[in-house]
Structure 1
Amino acid sequence: MAISQRLELRQSQSLVMTPQLQQAIKLLQLSNMDLVDYVQQEIEQNPLLDRDDGTGNSSLPETDNTDLHSAAASPSENEKSQPDSLELTNAETLPDSNQAPLDNDFDNYYDSSPDNQWSEDNTSFSNWGPGGNTRFEDASYSLENSLEETKTLRDHLREQLNMEISSPAERIIGIHLIDQVDETGYIRADLEELAAQLGCPIDLLLSVLATLQEFDPAGICARDLAECLAIQLREKNRLDPAIQALLDNLDLLAKRDIKGLRSVCGVDDEDITDMIAEIRGLNPRPAAAFDTSDVETLIPEVIIKSDGKDGWNIELNNDALPKVLLNNKYHGSITDLARTKEDKSYISEQLQSANWLIKALHQRATTVLKVATEIVRQQDGFLKKGVQALKPLTLKDIAEVIEMHESTVSRVTSNKYMVTPRGTFEMKYFFTSSIGGDNGNTHSSEAVRDRIKRLIDEEDHKKILSDDALVTKLKAEGIDIARRTIAKYREALGIPSSVQRRREKKLTL
């Protein structure tokens, strides 16, 4: 075959993930806390960006700032004379509409009345951002500075160690043992290895351990659950041979084998009931009171309120979103001073990056609002009646209505929460699988779980409902469900079997 050169012209289409599109997708899946951190990093890297402190003044002195997120708000006279982000956004700095990955037009009001009309009175979500209502007057104020210092469990134990043990060698052993205490209050380390590491006799280490087990809180420094409970019973002078036998057979108690426990303890029904009640009154996690782990505050992304009639108002949580300012005067001054091609290119890139960040933040806000509004439309019954009215819902159901891809809906609903009259829920909570019913009707799996729990809570102690009985009751209510599915839901809810529930209720009577 002859080899020759030739020119060909071909035309093809392909999807290119531009850096701007990647940024928009990244912002979409961030939680509000992560979004604040991301915007702060952009502010630190881009000299044209600044964060609004709620006073309308930039952190940079003698500069002229324009709020880039209040286009929907009513501007003051001074604001009207200044260009906003829309004026700064032009064809040279932003792409055309074909490159915008997300849809921006959607109402944030849902009316569930029969005419089901959308209101245009509540479509504004202007001024979104932390604003100035939650700030403190003192700029140096820090919440951490006002927190009381919390004594840790190790500090508490070391104080008692210094008072109870005077020997330096035993104190060193005690300190090492205290360092082995885990978050529940147990010492699970190999004591022989620890004695070898310290170079001390194992008897001396066990003697120090016995002293530590007398410390407050009761049950601390135990090596297992049985020893923890025994220490607490000994302190109450209730550790007799019968209850010690019960502690040695906690596996029978876990199985609720009351007959076996009576046999090994050598007591009657009344005594075994009293012993079990006493065991339940003890603390299996003695270190729980000293848990000083940081509690993460849950900040919702969307707030849903009743309109007082038959609908819902859906709005973004203004206090949870960052508010960005563009320093117009600074941009003008450095543009005048730029002489080299590199300087002018740098300023242009930073301006384009700032405008892209503004656009991406706006698209994120409108897309979250769009998805949240459709979720409220679909789950209106849940908001009015509770979890028993939760409808089966998939990402595809939402995506088809708002004309977006399922992956976009998935990103929007990840790590984001909604405040509703029923409580605060992750947006993913409202997406549940369906269970078949009569006449082609479907039921949400979450609603079925709730119904199973309520049936078990209401059951008669003389007639405990088995899984087969639950199947019969649910089928009578139009829910077609298999026995193994009920068993799976029951175990997920932490509900024991009918045999175990029957034993428990006998003990409580």
Structure 2
Amino acid sequence: MRAQPSLELGQHQQLALTPQLRQALALLQCSSQELDQEIARALADNPLLESVDPEPESAAQAERLDRVWTSSVPGARAAPPDERPEPGQPTSLIDHLLQQLHATRATERDCLLVVRLMGELDERGYLEFDPSALSAGLQPELDIENQEWHTALRLLQSFDPAGVAARDLSECLRLQLRARADEWPPDVLACADRLTDHLEDLGAGRWGRLCEALGCDRAQLDAAHRVLRQLNPRPVSPWQSDPVHYVTPDVLFHREAKGWQVSLNPAIEPRVRLNPELVEGLADQTLSPDLRDSMRQARSLIHNLGQRRQTILRVAEYIAQHQQAFLETGVAALRPLTLREVAQALELHESTISRATRLKYAQTPWGVHELKFFFGSVVQTRSGEETSTLAVQSLMRAMLACEPAGKPLSDMRLAQGLAEQGVVIARRTVAKYREAMGVPPASVRKARAATQG
């Protein structure tokens, strides 16, 4: 049978997203930082929009909320709502080393060589080649001798952090041992120093071979091993930490006479409006197509920002109502909550709730948490009530914090301890939660305790 081309009429439904709806969804998903960027872009592109300074009553509200928060949270300290802490600018490793070099009585020639060595340190703080090989990069007339390079190297290795400019891991550990020699008994220190030449056997756990090579018994070997574990194989790591990033909460949970209330943080609330002077001047004119489009976009943005505020506030209010026990007593009292439950209660789509909780943070008596923190799967308790996985992990964390150092709690013992508190879950579920918490098995914790003890 041959296929014949034909025309047919049919009806079907399809959801079409208008530009205004796309913008509303995009704004709802934005974090506060991303929203600032979107608004800045709109202000730059649209001449009819202008930024609005906080009104006096808004500033007063921010101050009042800050006082309420300070009084409701023990140990909280007030800070101006518009004062966001800036990440500190730590001293670089090179600056740290140069400060120490300038405090010495080294000659100008020695300082030149030390600075040249500093420039060759790798990301671990090591210098993995013969310093004399650097002579080729200096002026020939300097005529640097090998002994001068080694003198400069010894000077650099005497600086803080101990272990810097080592040629390998063994030398890095030995430099730290010598810098901290007064912390351990001489015999243990000497054994640890010799042990740095047998790191391969140490890593493989060849205890018998090590005792024979070092001429010591197992107790002394273990003591030396504990000493090495206190050293840092990457001595410059404190200078390589990532800058601190601060989170400004979008939502404030605060206690008042009538219970827990929710407010949007006025310190980061975006404020834009139509420029009243321009709009008034255009009122009696026939607008060009470009101005009509700018007017439409400006009104759409203002409307969508209002929708965003309203949606986030409604979701946060439902969370506060559902998680009253958490606000009163902490993480162990978290109740299970799903996106579907909130969506049904607020008559919104699940994707809307997901967007409204993405990268939105709430200030609570127990820290600043992303709104998604309050959502978790259900765990059944013995009494038939429900709790959340985060609450169970909180109980486990409290049990692990009190476990004896030499007798860590097994997964079975953790399951029994949870059962005694009314939470009955299988041992394999405990193991899954423990792994999610980043806690190693009891056998590994016991071995670490034995090594460190």
Read off the aligned partner of 1:374 and give its amino acid letter: Y
Read off the aligned partner of 2:254 and give its amino acid letter: K
Conservation of the 8 A alpha-carbon contact between 2:379 and 2:387: yes
Matching residue of 2:311? 367
Q: For residue 196 of structure 1, report the CA deviation from its aligned partner.
A: 9.4
Matching residue of 1:421? 365
Q: Given the alignment, which residue of 252, 274, 292 partners 1:303? A: 252
Conservation of the 8 A alpha-carbon contact between 1:35 and 1:321: no
Read off the aligned partner of 2:261 and give its amino acid letter: N
Secondary structure of the structure 2 residue equivalent to 1:14 = coil
Alpha-carbon distance in 1 for matches of 2:431, 2:136: 51
Question: Is 1:176 matched up with 2:115?
Answer: no
Q: What TM-score, normalized to structure 1?
A: 0.68
Q: Given the alignment, which residue of 75, 91, 94 partners 1:154? A: 94
Question: Is 1:187 matched up with 2:165?
Answer: no
Alpha-carbon distance in 1 for matches of 2:28, 2:240: 35
CA gap of 1:318–1:385, structure 2 versus 1, over 3 A, is same
Over the matched positions of the two proteins, sequence identity in percent amounts to 34
Q: Given the alignment, which residue of 291, 310, 319 partners 2:267? A: 319
Matching residue of 1:16? 16
Alpha-carbon distance in 2 for matches of 1:283, 1:276: 13
Read off the aligned partner of 1:221 and give its amino acid letter: A
Read off the aligned partner of 1:157 and give its amino acid letter: L
Q: For residue 272 of structure 1, report the CA deviation from its aligned partner.
A: 5.2
Q: For residue 398 of structure 1, report the CA deviation from its aligned partner.
A: 1.4
Secondary structure of the structure 2 residue equivalent to 1:314 = strand
Read off the aligned partner of 1:187 and give its amino acid letter: Y
Highest relative contact order (Cα 8 Å, sep 6+), 1 or 2?
A: 1
Matching residue of 2:236? 287
CA gap of 1:319–1:171, structure 2 versus 1, over 3 A, is same
In structure 1, runs of 5+ residues without a counterpart are 57-66, 74-132, 137-141
Alpha-carbon distance in 2 for matches of 1:500, 1:11: 64
Q: For residue 317 of structure 1, report the CA deviation from its aligned partner.
A: 0.4
**CA deviations over 1:419-447 (Å, ceiling 9, x no partner):** 01111111111112233443654432212
Alpha-carbon distance in 1 for matches of 2:157, 2:407: 45
Alpha-carbon distance in 2 for matches of 1:451, 1:407: 31
Secondary structure of the structure 2 residue equivalent to 1:349 = helix
Read off the aligned partner of 2:26 and give its amino acid letter: K
Conservation of the 8 A alpha-carbon contact between 2:117 and 2:153: yes
Q: How does 1:10-409 map to 2 (within 5 A)?
A: 12-54=12-54, 151-158=91-98, 164=106, 166=109, 170=113, 173-178=116-121, 180=122, 182=123, 185-187=124-126, 191=129, 207=150, 211-222=155-166, 226-237=170-181, 240-247=189-196, 266-267=215-216, 271=220, 275=224, 278-279=227-228, 281-283=230-232, 285-290=234-239, 293-308=242-257, 311-334=259-282, 336=284, 344-409=288-353
Secondary structure of the structure 2 residue equivalent to 1:438 = coil
CA gap of 1:4–1:246, structure 2 versus 1, over 3 A, is closer
Larger helix fraction of residues: 2
Question: Is 1:448 matched up with 2:368?
Answer: no
Secondary structure of the structure 1 residue equivalent to 2:14 = coil
* Higher deviation after alignment, 216-225 or 20-29: 216-225
Q: For residue 367 of structure 1, report the CA deviation from its aligned partner.
A: 0.4
Read off the aligned partner of 1:398 and give its amino acid letter: V
Alpha-carbon distance in 2 for matches of 1:143, 1:498: 40
CA gap of 1:167–1:284, structure 2 versus 1, over 3 A, is closer
Read off the aligned partner of 2:391 and give its amino acid letter: A
In structure 2, runs of 5+ residues without a counterpart are 62-79, 139-143
CA gap of 1:168–1:245, structure 2 versus 1, over 3 A, is closer
Q: For residue 286 of structure 1, report the CA deviation from its aligned partner.
A: 3.5
Secondary structure of the structure 1 residue equivalent to 2:267 = helix
Aligned length: 419
Q: For residue 294 of structure 1, report the CA deviation from its aligned partner.
A: 3.6
CA gap of 1:256–1:369, structure 2 versus 1, over 3 A, is farther
Q: For residue 173 of structure 1, report the CA deviation from its aligned partner.
A: 4.3
**CA deviations over 1:284-343 (Å, ceiling 9, x no partner):** 55335545854222100100011246x3101100111211132122123245566xxxx5
CA gap of 1:357–1:441, structure 2 versus 1, over 3 A, is same
Q: What TM-score, normalized to structure 2?
A: 0.75
Matching residue of 1:493? 437
Q: For residue 231 of structure 1, report the CA deviation from its aligned partner.
A: 1.5
